[in-house]
Structures are given as structure tokens and as C-alpha cells.
Homo-oligomer: A and B are copies of this chain.
Amino acid sequence: MTRINHQVRLAARPVGEPRDTDWQHVEEPVGEPGDGELLVQVLYLSIDPAMRGWMNAGRSYIRPVEVGEVMRAGAVGRVIASRHPGFAVGDHVSGAFGVQEYCLSDGRDVTKADPAAAPLSTYLGTLGMSGLTAYFGLIDIGRPEPGQTVVVSGAAGAVGSVVGQIAKILGCRVVGIAGGERKCRLLVEELGFDAAIDYQTEDVRKALREHAPDGVDVYFDNVGGDVLDAVLLRLARGARVVICGAVSQYNSTEPKGPANYMSLLVNRATMTGMVVFDYADRYAEGIAQLATWRAKGRLKSLEDVVSGGVAAFPETLMRLFRGENHGKLVLKVAEEQVSEEGENR
């Protein structure tokens, strides 16, 4: 029986918002693993704002996805064939398998995921790159101290929701900025944030005066744009601004810089960019800490799992930019137990 691999490839570099014509839906036969390779059936895809940047040409923190190439994506899956000594059929694994149903891998940067310890989708969120981004960005760059005020934007998103919860664990006052009343309620009622600001209906600057009366010591920015500008005006002396993303700007053909950046001078503050990949040699430390907090019930995993398979990828990505997700946006590609698995056991 020949398995068919459905893929989504980059057809053209988008200008502004990605359109249907920027994607190519391709079918090809699934290959057999060669020596040292494993074949992974993809179960869940991680949908990330950073994907928009990967589609652009030009130097960035990671090479661009080439036109014609399978779209890059983090994923969890199940090993269905292996000629790699480190992986056996039936293992659950996490890696950059791409927007496709099957992936041949040489095992590099592939880690195992234990479905008994957490749902597989959580290995893309709290126990995956999103959680690690929150952990290292907040702890290493933000360096919050107990009693300080931490503000996070995109607070109901995959990274932001973890940032806020970690800051609470560390003894900080936490204010989340998110879009919509439902998200804001979730932050305060479910995740224990001290306050939430709805940027769609509130004056962020005014709301920060109320919720961060002593100024903002750490600002973890996922959105850029007007929200960043508003928070800059409320920085405390010596504040740390962590630049993790700028989802409000990714589809803009004329991105807007923070007009209030001179607040960095007024407040002797620092703005620092972070990329989680730099912490690869400390991932184990981060995952262990996140898993411990999670096991103790101190860190809730917020996941928004969408079905539809790889064909639904383009539309699912747009949901991120429309701010429709609550927590980690995950696209389900296949049921965990599929009938074909039997033959490979």
C-alpha cells in the first residue's frame, strides 16, 4: 500500500497578509526511511506568529522557507517506521516536521514526548517552544523580582499566557493585555493574572496608570505597534522590555516603529530581542521546571486545538493574526491511533 503525503508548500512570498495563492497543496508518496532515518506521522502542528516571518526573503534569525519548499512548522507525531537507533516505532516525538502528514527525519533536533505525562498537543505549547520562549524570555531577559510589575501583551496567546503565570509564580504583580472581554476574563479568572486590559475597547495607556501605578518593571512584548508604544510611556526606572514578537506588524508592508522609544532614555530602560533557539543547551532545564509547575497545578496549559488536517493550515494561520485563538493554537492533522499503525508495530 502506498501512503500519500499531503503537504502545504510555499508557492509565493506574500505581500502583506498571506493569501490562498501563496500556498501550494501537494500530494506525494511517502518515502521509506533510509539508514539512520525515521518516518514520522504528524499528529499535531504548531501554529506560530513567527511563521509569517519565515515566509519572507532576507536575513533573519533563521533561514527563510524557500518558495516551493514544505512550510516549516513545529509538530508532534508518532514514529511509524525507523532505521534510527534512537527511535522505535510507536515513539511519540516532537520536531520541525513541517506542514505535511508524514516526515522523513534524520533524528536531529527530534525529542521524545511522553503522552502519559501530558497531552501530546502540550508538547507544542507549555512543554514546547512556546513554554520555553516564555520561560527564558521572562527569566533571562526580563529578570523580574518579587513584587515587581510584569506586563505581557498577547497575554492570552501561547507564549503570553505562560509568561504571566510564571511571573505570578515568581511573586510579581501581573497585568495582561489581550483583545476581547472573553480573553481578559480568562486571564484573571482562570490564569490568576492580577488584571487584564482589553486593547480593543480600553485606552491601554490610561488602564496602565490604574493597573501599574508604580510603573512597569518588565514588559514582555508579543505584539508591537500601538500597544508597545503605550507601555513604553509607563516604564519604571530601569525597566526591561523583552522583544519576543510583533504580531500586529507581521502582515504590514510598512511596519511601525515604537515612536515612544525615547522612554528608554528617560527611564534608563533596556529593550532586548530574544530568540528561543539560543537557549537550546538549556531546554532540558526549562522543560523540567515547566513540567514541575504544571504537575503541581501552578501552570495551566491553554490550548486551542483546531481540526481540519494540513489543508486547513492557511486558514488556521490567519486565525492567529485575527487574534481568534485562546492559548496555544494547534492544528490537528491525524488521530493518534490510526488503523495503518498496526502494520508497523
A255 CA to B266 CA, complexed, in Å:
15
A266 CA to B60 CA, complexed, in Å:
5
Residues of the B chain whose Cβ atoms lie less than 8 Å from the Cβ of A264: 243, 271-273
- A241-273: CB near B (< 8 Å → 1, else 0) gives 001111001000011111111111111111111
With both beta carbons as reference points, the residue of chain B lying nearest to A61 in the complex is identified as B266
With both beta carbons as reference points, the residue of chain B lying nearest to A50 in the complex is identified as B265
Pair B273/A244 contact, Cβ less than 8 Å: no
Residue A287 CB within 8 A of the other chain = no
Pair A265/B244 contact, Cβ less than 8 Å: yes
A271 CA to B261 CA, complexed, in Å:
9
Residue A274 CB within 8 A of the other chain = yes
Residues of the B chain whose Cβ atoms lie less than 8 Å from the Cβ of A272: 264, 268-271
Copies of chain A in the complex:
2
Q: What size tier do the contact residues of chain A reach?
A: 20 to 34
Nearest Cβ on chain B to A206's Cβ, whole angstroms: 15
- A195-239: CB near B (< 8 Å → 1, else 0) gives 000000000000000000000000000001000010000000000
Residue A108 CB within 8 A of the other chain = no
Nearest Cβ on chain B to A338's Cβ, whole angstroms: 39
Residues of the B chain whose Cβ atoms lie less than 8 Å from the Cβ of A274: 265, 268
Residue A322 CB within 8 A of the other chain = no
- Of B259, B273, B275, the contact of A256 (CB 8 Å cutoff): B259
Task: Please name 7 further chain A to chain B contacts, defined as beta carbons within 8 Å, in addition to the given A224-B262, A254-B259, sorted by A numbering.
Answer: A61-B265, A246-B262, A255-B259, A257-B259, A268-B275, A269-B272, A269-B273
Question: Which 4 residue pairs are nearest across A and B when measured between Cβ atoms?
Answer: A257-B257, A265-B273, A264-B273, A257-B259
